[in-house]
Amino acid sequence: MGAIQALRGTRDILPEEIATWQKVETLAREILGRAAYREIRTPIFELTALFERGIGEATDVVGKEMYSFLDRGERSLTLRPEGTAGVVRAYIENKLQAAGGVQRLWYTGPMFRYERPQAGRQRQFHQIGVEVLGTADPRADVEAIAIASDLLKTLGLQNLHLDLNSVGNTEDRQRYRDALVEYLTPYKDELDQDSQERLTRNPLRILDSKHQRTQEIAQEAPKIWQHLCPESQRHFDRVQALLSELGIPYQLNHRLVRGLDYYTHTAFEIISDDLGAQATVCGGGRYDNLVAQLGGQDTPAVGWAIGLERLIILLQQLHESPKSSLDFYVVSRGDAAEANALLLAQKLRHAGFSVELDFSGSAFGKQFKRADRSGAAACLILGSEEAANRTVQIKWLASQEQIQLSQAELLQKTDELRQQLENFKQ
DSSP string for 124-153: EEEEEEEEEES---HHHHHHHHHHHHHHHH
pLDDT at 323: 64
156: number of Cβ within 10 Å? 10
CA neighbor of 228 nearest in space, from 210, 219, 216, 240:
240
Distance from first CA to last CA of the chain, Å, rounded? 49
Q: In the structure, what pLDDT confidence band is assigned to residue 358 with cuts at 50, 70 and 90?
A: very high
Per CATH, the architecture of 328-425 is what? 3-Layer(aba) Sandwich (3.40)
Boundaries of every domain in the chain:
15-169+229-318, 328-425
Greatest mean pLDDT among 51-60, 119-128, 381-390 lies in 381-390
| Integer angstrom CA distances of residue 294 from 32, 106, 299 | 26, 19, 11
pLDDT at 204: 82
CA 291 – CA 285 distance, rounded (Å): 14
**Beta strand 264-272 pairing with 328-332:** unpaired
CA 355 – CA 77 distance, rounded (Å): 44
Report the percent of the chain where pLDDT is more than 70.
96
Q: In the structure, what pLDDT confidence band is assigned to residue 58 with cuts at 50, 70 and 90?
A: low
Report the percent of the chain where pLDDT is more than 90.
66
Q: What is the dihedral of CA 305, 40, 135, 170, to 10 degrees?
A: 50
Q: In the structure, what pLDDT confidence band is assigned to residue 91 with cuts at 50, 70 and 90?
A: very high
Are 260 and 83 contacting, i.e. CB atoms less than 8 angstroms apart? no
Q: In the structure, what pLDDT confidence band is assigned to residue 262 with cuts at 50, 70 and 90?
A: confident
Residue 119 has pLDDT above 80, yes or no: no
Say which range, 27-41, 120-134, 307-321, has the weakest mean pLDDT: 307-321
Are 195 and 206 contacting, i.e. CB atoms less than 8 angstroms apart? yes
Say which range, 89-98, 262-271, 318-327, has the weakest mean pLDDT: 318-327
Residue 322 has pLDDT above 70, yes or no: no
Q: In the structure, what pLDDT confidence band is assigned to residue 256 with cuts at 50, 70 and 90?
A: confident
pLDDT at 207: 82
Count helices and strands (H / E) in the chain.
16, 16
pTM: 0.85
Distance of CA 84 to the CA centre of its chain: 14
Q: In the structure, what pLDDT confidence band is assigned to residue 155 with cuts at 50, 70 and 90?
A: very high
328-425 and 15-169+229-318 share a CATH fold = no
Say which range, 33-42, 48-57, 122-131, 157-166, has the weakest mean pLDDT: 48-57
Cα angle value 223/225/227 (rounded, 5°): 90
Say which range, 16-25, 254-263, 329-338, has the weakest mean pLDDT: 254-263
Looking at residue 225, the DSSP 8-state letter turns out to be G
pLDDT tens sequence across 208-253: 777 888 888 888 888 888 889 999 999 999 999 999 999 999 999 9
For the chain, give the longest Cα–Cα distance. Answer: 91
Say which range, 60-69, 108-117, 156-165, has the weakest mean pLDDT: 60-69
Order of strands across the sheet that contains 76-79? 45-47, 76-79, 67-70
CA neighbor of 301 nearest in space, from 104, 54, 145:
104
Per CATH, the architecture of 15-169+229-318 is what? 2-Layer Sandwich (3.30)
Residue 6 has pLDDT above 90, yes or no: yes
